Structure 1
Amino acid sequence: MGEKGPDIGSEARLAQSIDHPSAPSGQMYLVLPTVQDLRELAPVACGFLKQGYLMKILLYGLGTHSAADFLQQDTCILPYTRSSFSALPDILVDDHDLGPIATEVIITSDMGPSEALFLKATIKRQFPLATHIQLPREDLTYTSWMASLSFLELKNWHRPQVDVSVITKDRPKSLRRLITSLSSARFFGDTLSLRFNIDQSLDYETQHLVHHYTWPHGPVFVHHRVKSGG
């Protein structure tokens, strides 16, 4: 956590407007639990500022009183407001200091399922037209690539639909290695469907693996091919 400073938020916004006179027309919120979470997401936040995005950062796990502070990074200063979790609905609605432009993107991370539901309901009520991007807390350190996304790409975060399709026949060891690798990978966005395409004459071990596999990222579909290809 940085030291207290004189109106850092205003200075950062002024510098931003000077460096980016043609800044994007949208604005966003980052809503995170703690300073450590912000530190892990800092490469993304600094990247957004560099692109000229209007951004406000709220940290809701730092006590009961609302106060302003900032996080000093090598490439930027990240001003933030800290508050209690229960005060978020009142703070989120008061975003006039960001300007007259509507908030279009809200990126959040939560400390558990109950916080996730509360954040989702609050954002849906306060900003029904905004894109809500939920990032698992354990994935924040793997998000640096998001800094390269345009504001339009962020707004369309939920639009791409991606499926993983696996074609297999009588190679259970190779299949096990593949799905183990897929399970340990990190996926961002909405649910990711997994489809297995198998022959009806598949060996027992591979069939058992396919039909008893639990995919943590979305639904699993098994398609039986009547006739082998090739």
Structure 2
Amino acid sequence: MGGVVVSTAYSYLGQCEMSHMVGSQGSPKVSKGMVTTLLDRFRSPIIEKLHFAVFLPNLTSLERIAPTVCRILQNGHELTITVQRLGDTRGLGSNKEQYLNHGCHFHYIVSSDAGDGYERDILALASSWCGPVPLRDKILVFGGGSNGSWYNSVLKTRVCATTVIYLQDKDLGSSEWLSMLTAEEWRAWDKPTIELAVITHDRPWSLQRLLDSVKRAHYFGDTVNMVINLEQTADQETRRIAEGFTMGSIESRISVRHRIVYAGLMTAVVESWYPHGNHSYGVILEDDVELSPLFYAWIKFCVLRYRYGTPSKDASPLYGISLYQPKVTELHMEGRRPFNARDLFAKANIEHPHTPYLSQVPCSWGAVYFPEHWREFQQYLSLRLSEHVMPATDIVVPNLRSNKWSRSWKKFFNEMVYLQGYVSLYPNYEYFVSLSTNHLEVGEHVPANINQEKQSQYFLPLMQEPEIAKRYPGTELGVKLLDLPLSDLPKWADLPTLDLWGGISTLERLRDVGLERRVNMSVCQFDETQPSALQYLCPPKEVLRPGVSHKIVYDSSTEDDDPDLMQG
């Protein structure tokens, strides 16, 4: 298990190539996790080879990014590392420095450049990458104390790179997931724009906690786009926190909106974000949510994999990505039930019970929504609330508890996903470690007398950076983002699928059930021209049959005696 030795992709006078052995006592110390990773690699499909160039300011940065470097090499990619002499008192003239527990062997180059501009290194890289015989996809990574001004489209063109990213020093230790991106996903790195939509009213302590968690997170060189939506009745302290919030050294665009007419939670959520194109993604965040430092890594990883690395026609039913992994199902008519996806999948003999999965249930406690589906939902909701074709209290989904949630946007979202066969991606980590949690603070859908037992059903531990993560039994570095089947996000076809009630199903079955319901409850006449807004209630004209009953069941009960805590 000696490791991998990588030759440099470029070299020139004044640079000293340094050999570096990861391990101790002069030989590699191979961790249990490394053995698992190597076994996973041998079982995984061959990944298209990439060329990486990593620029770092000192050995401390190299130590932080070492797990990422090792996994890049284990995946068979080529890699060159350039380390400057900035702020490192140990010196780079020795080849005796050693890291522990990563179990791989790599070389790095000591840069002769003074300062942190990397000018000579960039010239050498351009000469190599832009030669007469172009290399394959090339990824340029600046890390640690590097000058962020290099991270721009001009540099990307200058060195003929597929992608250029700038990692802050705090991002380095949490960047291992980057090593699992495919060439196609790297090409799409700059395409998605992820926008945070925060919804707040009169809980300044909640808003402060949420914003603090946003600020602690890792963004891997991306600009943070955020809108803080204030209700008309927001108090002075809440307004002060919103108006004064900044992301510090992280590049960001932050705006604040304040309603002049009271809207209520359903309107506040639905109008908090609207996509400006099909590469626009909205993260809906109510103020009693708290985020993991790795929430953005989960989002970016999943968006790149299932929106850009998967054929669009295959993943078209995917409407979003949840940050939260539920311990309870809420939609049975009898009320809430305990839920554990791992136990469910183990009983069903699914090969990897810890796999992420698809579920029709929308999440209101931290989730990403996709542009096409969110636009569709707004059209659907507008049609339903207008009561143009049917009363808003009429039942669309039989035997669903949310039919009684008269003030919840999720009632209508559940209808849409049921009729269309849509699904969201959910995490499924051990010990319910999650990318978001909810503090169940008193609000429109949470009563003041909520007890601790109910709170414990919804509060989840947040995933942390490896160096501070809780060491759960059986884990070496806590629960990590790549604790996935084969240490990677599964192929689209391998994701298990659940219906609104938490039962195992298939995408084909969900689509057929929704279509059948649209046929049987349709308010459209057989020969009627369908306005675009009606397409979400009406089946395609070719499947409409003359003589089908158009009767819709009326629900006489409009409120739920046991208020749902996940209405959102």
CA shift at 1:120, angstroms?
5.5
1:89 alignment partner AA: I
Q: Given the alignment of the two structures, is residue 34 of structure 1 paired with residue 58 of structure 2, yes or no?
A: yes
After TM superposition, the structure 1 stretch with the greater mean CA deviation from structure 2, 49-58 or 212-221, is 212-221
Q: Any idea what the Cα deviations from partners look like across 1:193-218, whole Å, max 9, x if unmatched?
A: 12111222322221222222223341
Q: For the structure 1 residues 174 and 38, does the alpha-carbon distance in structure 2 shift closer, same or farther, using more than 3 Å as the test?
A: same
Contact 1:89 1:122 in 2 (8 A): no
2: distance between equivalents of 1:100 and 1:121? 19
Q: Given the alignment of the two structures, is residue 82 of structure 1 paired with residue 114 of structure 2, yes or no?
A: no
CA shift at 1:155, angstroms?
3.1
Aligned pairs, how many? 208
Q: Given the alignment of the two structures, is residue 181 of structure 1 paired with residue 213 of structure 2, yes or no?
A: yes
Aligned partner of 1:228 among 263, 270, 275: 263
Contact 2:55 2:81 in 1 (8 A): yes
Higher fraction of strand: 1
After TM superposition, the structure 1 stretch with the greater mean CA deviation from structure 2, 22-31 or 187-196, is 22-31
Contact 2:53 2:140 in 1 (8 A): yes
Q: Secondary structure at the match of 2:139?
A: strand
Q: For the structure 1 residues 144 and 178, does the alpha-carbon distance in structure 2 shift closer, same or farther, using more than 3 Å as the test?
A: same
Give the alignment of 1:14-93 within 5 angstroms: 24-61=48-85, 74-85=102-113, 86-93=119-126
Q: Any idea what the Cα deviations from partners look like across 1:62-113, whole Å, max 9, x if unmatched?
A: 8xxxx9x7986643211222222253134323437x985245211112535x
Q: Given the alignment of the two structures, is residue 101 of structure 1 paired with residue 135 of structure 2, yes or no?
A: yes
1: distance between equivalents of 2:160 and 2:175? 25
Q: Given the alignment of the two structures, is residue 164 of structure 1 paired with residue 207 of structure 2, yes or no?
A: no
- 1:3 corresponds in structure 2 to none
Q: Any idea what the Cα deviations from partners look like across 1:131-185, whole Å, max 9, x if unmatched?
A: 1011112321222232332233233222221111111111112212221222222
1:220 alignment partner AA: I
- 1:16 corresponds in structure 2 to none
Q: Secondary structure at the match of 1:158?
A: coil
2:181 alignment partner AA: L
Q: For the structure 1 residues 82 and 147, does the alpha-carbon distance in structure 2 shift closer, same or farther, using more than 3 Å as the test?
A: same
Aligned partner of 1:193 among 219, 225, 241: 225
Q: Secondary structure at the match of 1:210?
A: helix
Contact 1:157 1:189 in 2 (8 A): no
Q: For the structure 1 residues 80 and 155, does the alpha-carbon distance in structure 2 shift closer, same or farther, using more than 3 Å as the test?
A: farther
1: distance between equivalents of 2:176 and 2:209? 28
Q: Secondary structure at the match of 1:193?
A: strand
Structure 2: any 5+ residue segments left out of the alignment?
9-41, 87-92, 114-118, 265-406, 408-568
- 2:286 corresponds in structure 1 to none
Q: Secondary structure at the match of 1:162?
A: strand
From the CA coordinates, give the structure whose radius of gyration is larger.
2
Over the aligned positions, Cα root-mean-square deviation in angstroms equals: 3.4
2:263 alignment partner AA: S
1: distance between equivalents of 2:72 and 2:203? 45
CA shift at 1:127, angstroms?
1.5
2: distance between equivalents of 1:61 and 1:223? 46
Q: For the structure 1 residues 118 and 187, does the alpha-carbon distance in structure 2 shift closer, same or farther, using more than 3 Å as the test?
A: closer
Q: For the structure 1 residues 190 and 94, does the alpha-carbon distance in structure 2 shift closer, same or farther, using more than 3 Å as the test?
A: same
1: distance between equivalents of 2:239 and 2:206? 13
2:103 alignment partner AA: T
